[in-house]
Amino acid sequence: MLVVLQLLLLLCVGSSVSQDLMTPNVNIIAELEKLKKMEEKIQTLQEKLDSVLINNEALKSLVQDSQNKLESFQKENEARKIAFSAGLLASGSGHTGPLNYQKTLVYKKVFTNIGNAYDSNTGIFTAPVKGVYYFRFYAHSHAGTKMAVILYKNDVHQCSVFSVKPVTNGNASNGVVLTLEPGDQVYTKLLDKTWVYDDQMSYTSFSGFLIFPLVNMELV
C-alpha cells in the first residue's frame, strides 16, 4: 500500500513539473512585450535620426552655397569701388611744355585713388575689372599759348580738348564713357609744341571712376 502511495506522489510531482515547463510564466511574457515595444521605439528613433542627418546635410550644403554667393557678392561689390582724381603738378602751380613730341601727362597731385588703379608714376589708369567707366579731363592754359590734350585708350585717340592762343586764360574739359577689359589703359597726352598750366585757381586734372562692372551680380 505504501509503495502505491509513493508511486502516486511521484506521478503527481512529475505531472506538476511537466505542466510548469509547458506553461510560460506570465511575467516573462510581459517583459517580452516590453522589449518588443522598446525595439519599435528604437526603430522609430533611428528613422527620425536618419531623417535629421539627411536634413542636416542638406542644410550644410545650403549654408555653404549661401556663403559662397555672399563672398562672391562681396568681391563684386568691392570691384565697384574704383575711382581716382589727380592734378597735374604736385606743387599745384607751374606749366608743362612745350615739347617736340607728344608727352604722356603724369598727374602727380593725387586727390583720391580708390582701388589704386591709377599710377601716379606713369599717369596711366589700368582697368582692374571688366566694366563701364567714366573719365573726365580738364586742361588750363594761359593767354597767348596753345594747349591741346588728348585722351587715349590703349594708344587709340578717344577725345581731346584744346585752346589756341586765347586772349586771356583758356580752359577746356571733356569726358567719355568707355567699356574696358581688365588691363586696358587710359591716359592723356599733351600735343607737341603746346602748354598746359596749373595754378591755385585751375588745375589741369584727370579723373575717372567705374560706373558698373560687367560681371554677374545676381544672387539666386
Q: Quick one: pLDDT at residue 13? A: 47
Q: Quick one: pLDDT at residue 93? A: 74
As a whole number of angstroms, the distance between CA 73 and CA 193 comes to 49
For 148-197, the pLDDT digits (tens) are: 999 999 999 999 998 887 777 778 999 999 999 999 999 999 999 998 98
Q: Quick one: pLDDT at residue 83? A: 97
DSSP letters spanning 58-109: HHHHHHHHHHHHHHHHHHHHHHT--EEEEES-TTS-EEE---SS-EE----E
For 65-77, the pLDDT digits (tens) are: 777 776 766 666 6
Q: Does 63 score more than 80 pLDDT?
A: no
Contact 112, 125 (CB under 8 A): no
Helix (H) or strand (E) holding 21: helix 2-22
Contact 135, 178 (CB under 8 A): yes
As a whole number of angstroms, the distance between CA 63 and CA 154 comes to 44
The chain-wide mean pLDDT, for the chain, equals: 82
pLDDT band at 26 (very low <50, low <70, confident <90, very high): low
- Tally of CB atoms within 10 A around 205: 21
